[in-house]
Structure 1
């Protein structure tokens, strides 16, 4: 028998700080770039009968850390009509020395926060200097987390949110409440969200491009976080044609998503995002259009979950059960 700490969503919310988490996510990228991690392939497979979803298993260990983590995630597009989150996850945290279970976390907020930090860090490192004008395609949970993380990492001036559904109004209202002093507006077309923006984020489950690459202003940074299978696609070929460089968090997995397949790119065409944090790659011209493609990495779940568990143990957060 061993004591296992249980952290529900409210516990994770109380412990989570985006400004503090940014540095942990950067550490995860650096360790991954130096090949100081164990990150087995993540299987994903269809589940459900009437309204199929996708299940994913994502294990990872960062060398030298006291724990490793395994995330069980799912994506169910039909959940929007059920009033349920599209993305759901749980994370098991295990002691790296003994193999004993250490904690079990509600993982959806962890997934959203660490993915948001990818966009925040990308904007901090790759956007042109000056206040950020953000265009957001998508109005769900991840669109909001991306915006919050960009605000935590940069000087965010204004936000334009587009979604084909009325959810864009609710998203904009929520962001106005969370980000006082930032000009947040819901707009009526993708072009309105993209035009004049210095950073564009796509956070959707789309299967077709969500904006026209010709609408991008010179110098724009595009961060695409929604596509994760061959069937999902957010960016058109024109966006890649105009891009001076394309960065990827996990090049070999990004090469398998619909955005990239349609553009005829492969893993060799990407700059690993870790090289940005190493200082070996970045923006070379104010007019360069840059693209960051992200499918997420279990390494980021592992560093986030381990960091949260250490904070929880220090503060006595959550509940403990014998297992």
Structure 2
């Protein structure tokens, strides 16, 4: 079995090459050409060192895309407390195991954070390419200043072009640091002091937080805004408010049956029948009809995307890439 650490994954991964891989994975998911068991997620850390509540959430995410040589199992964790400088670890951590679909042999173990961040970033990139109003580069607002905020901005820039990005986080150092990192990569990014300042007049608004309450007021959105919400993945998490959904002409979801149970939808009493599979966009069956439409894309993440990404990286790898170990 080959082991690929984060540096090895970085050498193999290109957002430009990954975008069509993720689009194809959505198409196959929409057509039912995948195996995607329910992903268990459960609290971890309660009782550890006298802790009264959980430290984070653990997730197991298996999937197989029909026709691919291997299936993938991702083990992920979400620990919001890791944002504390004293902890200094990523909020989201993961490992992806790739297994031969023909004979069950273990093929590769990938460091999973970059895979998770890149494939989730591609959701925003593909949404911006297909659903943002107009045809040129977009004015982008990002609520959140973690790794996913950076990856969403990168992917949207690759897929559509970013004319300018405004970053908001309630922590000044975080938003300034995120904007500085993006500027170092050649993007026009700045930190702003309120969510209203971020979203006002934006073409695309991305929310990438672990918030339990709405992170911007829906009335601040301009007509024609595309909102891409990637942070909430369970009932206790909520990034968008009722006004945003009331203003939305259509709502897309990467996995409608799972999005129906997250806080954005439940707390705002959004009818699950409003949720259009994102795959319909790529099939040409649904999309933006007018430039003034407000459109929401909700994403909880799909193990199908991890499987597609891991298979793509395995195809990109040469014989000497990674570290081979006996298993």
Which bracket does the TM-score occupy, shorter chain normalised? over 0.9
1:73 matched to which residue of 2? 76
Alignment correspondent of 2:137:
131
Which residue matches 1:212?
217
Give the Cα–Cα distance (whole angstroms) in 2 for the partners of residues 42 and 195 of structure 1: 36
Partner of 2:265: 260
Partner of 1:276: 281
Looking at structure 2, the residues matched to 18 and 322 of structure 1 have their Cα atoms a distance apart, in angstroms, of 31
* Secondary structure of 1:322's aligned partner: coil
Alpha-carbon distance, 1:266 to partner: 4.0
Other structure's SS at 2:109 match:
strand
State the TM-score, normalizing by the size of structure 2.
Answer: 0.96
Match of 1:29 in 2: 26
Q: Does residue 1:145 correspond to 2:145, yes or no?
A: no
Give structure 1 regions of 4+ aligned residues with deviation exceeding 6 angstroms.
none
Q: 2-side partners of 1:18 and 1:276: how far apart? A: 20
Q: Distance in 1 between matches of 2:232 and 2:121?
A: 15
Query: Does 2:313 correspond to 1:316?
Result: no
Kindly indicate whether residue 48 of structure 2 is the aligned counterpart of residue 42 of structure 1: no
2: distance between equivalents of 1:21 and 1:79?
A: 28
State TM-score, norm by structure 1.
0.97
Count residues with an aligned counterpart. Answer: 317
In the other structure, the counterpart of 2:10 is: 13
Partners of 2:217 and 2:319 in 1: CA distance: 48
For 1:161-310, what aligned pairs fall within 5 Å after superposition?
161-166=167-172, 167-178=174-185, 180=186, 182-310=187-315
Q: Which runs of 5+ in 1 are unaligned?
A: none
Residues of 1 paired with 2:320 and 2:284: CA distance?
A: 38
SS at match of 2:321: coil
CA distance in 1, matches of 2:20, 2:104: 27
What SS does the corresponding residue of 1:205 show, helix, strand or coil? coil
Give 1:97's match in structure 2, choosing from 88, 102, 107.
102
C-alpha distance in structure 1 between counterparts of 2:254 and 2:237, whole Å? 17
Counterpart of 1:63 in structure 2 is 66
Output the CA distance in 2 between the equivalents of 1:52 and 1:64: 38
Shift of 1:315: 5.5
Which residue of 1 is the match for residue 165 of structure 2? 159
Partner SS, residue 271 of structure 1? strand
User: 2:245·2:270 contact (CA, 8 Å) conserved in 1?
Assistant: no
Q: Residues of 1 paired with 2:166 and 2:32: CA distance?
A: 38
Contact 2:148 2:208 in 1 (8 A): yes
Query: How big is the shift at 1:239?
Result: 0.1
RMSD of aligned Cα (Å): 0.8
For the pair 1:53 / 2:56, whether they are aligned, the reply is yes
Structure 2 segments unaligned to the other structure (5+ residues): none
The 1:230–1:138 alpha-carbon spacing in structure 2 relative to 1, beyond 3 Å, is: same
CA distance in 2, matches of 1:155, 1:201: 15
